[in-house]
Amino acid sequence: MGRLLLLTTLRHLRRQPWQSGLTILGIALGVAVVLAVDLANQSARRAFLLTAESLSGRASHQISAGPAGIDEAFYRRLRLELGLRRAAPVVEGVVTHGTGRLRLVGIDPIASSAFRRPGGGLAPDSVRRLLTEPATALLSAATAVRLGIGRDGRLPVRAAGRPVTLRILDHLPEDAPEGLLLADIATAQELLGRNGRLDRIDLILEPGQADTLARQLPPGLRLETSASRTRVLEEMVAAFQTNLTAMSLLAILVGAFLIYNTMTFSVLRRRRLLGTLRALGVTRRELFRLLLTEALLLGVVGALLGTGLGILVARSLLALVTRTINDLYFVLTATRLALEPALLAKGWAIGLGVTLLSALIPALEAARTRPAEALRRSRLESRLRRGLPWLAGAGAAGLLLGWLLAGTDSGLAGGLAGLFLLILGYALLLPPALAGLDRVTAPLAGRGGLLPRLALRGIAANLSRTAPAIAALSVAVAATLGVGIMIGSFRATVADWLGYTLRGDLYIRQAAGADALPPGVRELVESLPQVAETSAGRHAHIHTDRGTVELLALEPATRSSRGFRFAAPPLPRLWPRYTRGELLLVSEPFAYRHRLRTGDRLRLQTDEGELSLPIGGIFYDYGSDRGLVSLVRSRYARLWHDPGISTIGIYLRPGVETAAAEAALTRLLGNRMDGLEIRSNREIRERSLAVFDRTFAITRVLRLLAIGVAFVGVLSALMALQLERGRELALLRATGLTRGQLVRLVLLQTGLMGLYAGLFALPLGWLMSDLLIEVINRRAFGWTIFVRLPAGALGETLLLAVGAALLAGLYPAWRMARVRPARALREE
């Protein structure tokens, strides 16, 4: 019996290729989106970990310092006086090549031999040449192939703002991370302008040595494990990657409606056959297994196709993820996909799991149906209508539970779970809402003529078919609206923030990889007659009791105070106390992440020892989701022995044109301009918003994929209706309905389905945007986003829903119009 039932399933799938194909396509798209995001995230993470692990090698601990770095004299003392022979100095920085960036790492090849990292086991000739020949380096093999640079080839780069040509002596081993440029430490110090300074010292310590060494370190130096340094960097991108995963799961949720729709129709289409099988002695359990086996077969084929498609999509997505990490966090080069079996298995498990769960209700429905009832067409519709109160109750419960979960302090995972429960609960409310809408529109339809009446009644009479399709399209369009409102509001908020933060007319900074601006640049700038005043800033990373923090040491101009807007009331007499160095300002993400309030204190590890300062104010800042701390520059310079500046803000006199002042500055600075960048206020705003747009390019791709899955769902529902209503449409044709009228009827019904989906998407989209802004974004990044409804967003949502539905209805309408009435009636 089992073999015969399996043959029945295979024959059915073969006889309905379009139906099977649409189901497989829906599963494949869902699996592809989830798998692509996982592969891109994991590949980026693997590239980052490979870089961190290969550069640390066997190091168990690292000594780091404040912005000025470590005096290399301490390294000699560490080896000679303290007897720590397994120690290796490291200098790190970024150099640019064309439009790309490379990580330059300077090491002592001899001291690094014990650490098993790139450059630790070099051939003697390579070591000799690195130590004796200037401007030489080793390049990772993958990057050398990509750039077309062979052994003893030349690589032009810009380091510390200066053009330099490096000789590439050899390629690093194949397992070396991409984008890595390895040089002797003296070469790296010269290239990066850090003569006599080290960024860190790697150590291999025995148990008990760490505590002893920590007590012997001078003020300003810090001992930490290598794992803790890697973990901090990994946490920087965790929230970004979690949000991408959540967007990918949305496509699976939309795909579940498609699978449910198709499996329900599969049962409906064979209701007579299934009833006959039950009458011939097939048990409920056998019938249940038969339908789940059918779903499993479709799921396996869909998962296979989704795997291949997911790998293709992941290659493009990896470039977007890597570019975003480079824009927002740190330098990362990742071009290889990490095709790990666990990730492929996860994609398969999600695809097959959602397929079987979506097929569960139709399979149970068919198994519980008595043979006589299975032969009656109206049974499913009547049963669905009897179940509408239960659907309404389940939907309301899902909405309530999701709202409660999102409202509690359940972290980012709880917020995402609450969001998905809200979406699911809302989708369950749509069938009852459609039934109620039918009662409202029925009297109006009678006044609009035959075709509108038939279109409206067709939607209501086939609710088991139309409701899942409308729900799938509604959820996908709502996601587009919700994410669109969030992105639009975020972009407007960032634009406003840039407007009041950038108070200067022009800004000067050193190129990437440089430590500070050359001495005397600020004095030259202030000597220009067009300049009214300047401000100066120094960016650095310091150690605090809350971990490593980005610090902005600011020497403000008269107008600089207007560049801060506070999320909570600041302490009294804030600005005079700040300029005297008596307190700190912290950004909103930093305060949120560490649960700090105005008046709390922060302990700083300075070169002069530990210092505790109060938090005077919490300001809005959208430049870093890790947070920012600001201290006046005069006190920073004393505490960390760092008089350098990273940026200069230039305030022009009234009536001076920005372009003319920029040209005058370029002439005045002359040869000092090599490596300096002068940017206008407007140019910085435009570049910052361009980075913002690149960051959310990934989200736009995922939104389009979700719409694609919903489009397939509507197409599947319409094709199912064509077959299911064959006799009804044939009778209409036989009684005088023309082909053109039939096409208009189908497109009118499709357009109404899209209109319903769009109308239902509006409140859900607004609800999703509220949760994304107030819960998900807040918990992931700590930012306050001020809601702005993009112009025309509601109209665009309706047009998107109706347009997608009409597009999906073109082929079914054409198919229905070609069917001959006599043939359709004979087949019935």
Sketch the domain layout of the chain as residue ranges. 1-58+231-373, 70-198, 515-674
Tell me: pLDDT of 613 over 90: yes
- 752 Rama class: left (phi>0) / alpha (psi -120 to 50) / beta: alpha
The mean pLDDT of 201-228, rounded to a whole number, is 78
Question: Residue 701 gets which letter from DSSP?
Answer: H
pLDDT attached to residue 596: 93
Residue with tokens 């361009």: 690
- 729 phi and psi, to 5 degrees? -70, -35
Angle at 731 between CA 728 and CA 737, to 5 degrees: 110
pLDDT attached to residue 630: 93
Tell me: pLDDT of 598 over 90: yes
- 661 phi and psi, to 5 degrees? -65, -40
Tell me: pLDDT of 76 over 90: no
Q: Which residue has the higher pLDDT, 65 or 528?
A: 528
Asked if 343 contacts 45 with a C-beta cutoff of 8 angstroms, the reply is no
Tell me: pLDDT of 427 over 90: no
pLDDT attached to residue 601: 94
Least confident range from 122-136, 437-451, 621-635, 793-807: namely: 437-451
pLDDT attached to residue 577: 92
Least confident range from 39-48, 386-395, 788-797: namely: 39-48
Confidence band, pLDDT 50/70/90 cuts, at residue 617: very high
pLDDT digits 0-9 by tens, 389-422? 888 888 899 889 988 888 777 777 788 788 888 8
The mean pLDDT of 607-629, rounded to a whole number, is 87
Which of 624, 491, 506, 622 has its CA nearest to residue 557?
506
Q: How many other CB atoms are there within 10 angstroms of residue 670's CB atom? A: 9
Confidence band, pLDDT 50/70/90 cuts, at residue 437: confident
pLDDT digits 0-9 by tens, 528-559? 889 899 988 888 888 888 888 888 898 888 77
pLDDT attached to residue 254: 58
End-to-end CA distance of the chain: 28
Asked if 610 contacts 531 with a C-beta cutoff of 8 angstroms, the reply is no
pLDDT attached to residue 471: 81
pLDDT digits 0-9 by tens, 708-740? 666 666 666 666 666 666 666 677 777 777 778
pLDDT attached to residue 215: 79
pLDDT digits 0-9 by tens, 367-377? 776 665 554 54
Asked if 686 contacts 10 with a C-beta cutoff of 8 angstroms, the reply is no
Q: Which residue has the higher pLDDT, 116 or 801?
A: 801
Tokens of 691: 């980075």
The mean pLDDT of 285-301, rounded to a whole number, is 81
Confidence band, pLDDT 50/70/90 cuts, at residue 618: very high
Share of the chain above pLDDT 90, in %: 7
pLDDT attached to residue 719: 65
Tokens of 104: 């330059």
Confidence band, pLDDT 50/70/90 cuts, at residue 241: low
Helix pair 226-236, 238-269: axis angle to 10 deg: 50
Confidence band, pLDDT 50/70/90 cuts, at residue 253: low
- Average pLDDT over all residues of the chain: 77
pLDDT attached to residue 1: 46
Spatial separation of the C-alpha atoms in residues 641 and 38, rounded to whole Å: 45
What b/e sequence results for 293-331 when a residue is b if at least 16 CB atoms lie within 10 Å of its CB, and e otherwise? Answer: bbbebbbbbbbbbbbebbbebbeebbebbbbbbbebbeb
Bridge-based pairing of strands 162-172 and 136-140 is: parallel
The mean pLDDT of 177-187, rounded to a whole number, is 84
pLDDT attached to residue 513: 46
DSSP assignments along 590-649, one per residue: HHHHTT--TT-EEEEEETTEEEEEEEEEEE---S-SS-EEEEEHHHHHHHHT----SEEE
Residues in the chain: 828
pLDDT digits 0-9 by tens, 300-351? 888 888 888 888 877 776 666 666 555 544 445 555 666 778 778 877 787 7
pLDDT digits 0-9 by tens, 619-639? 998 877 778 899 999 999 999
pLDDT attached to residue 763: 92
pLDDT digits 0-9 by tens, 649-663? 889 888 888 888 888
Tell me: pLDDT of 269 over 80: no
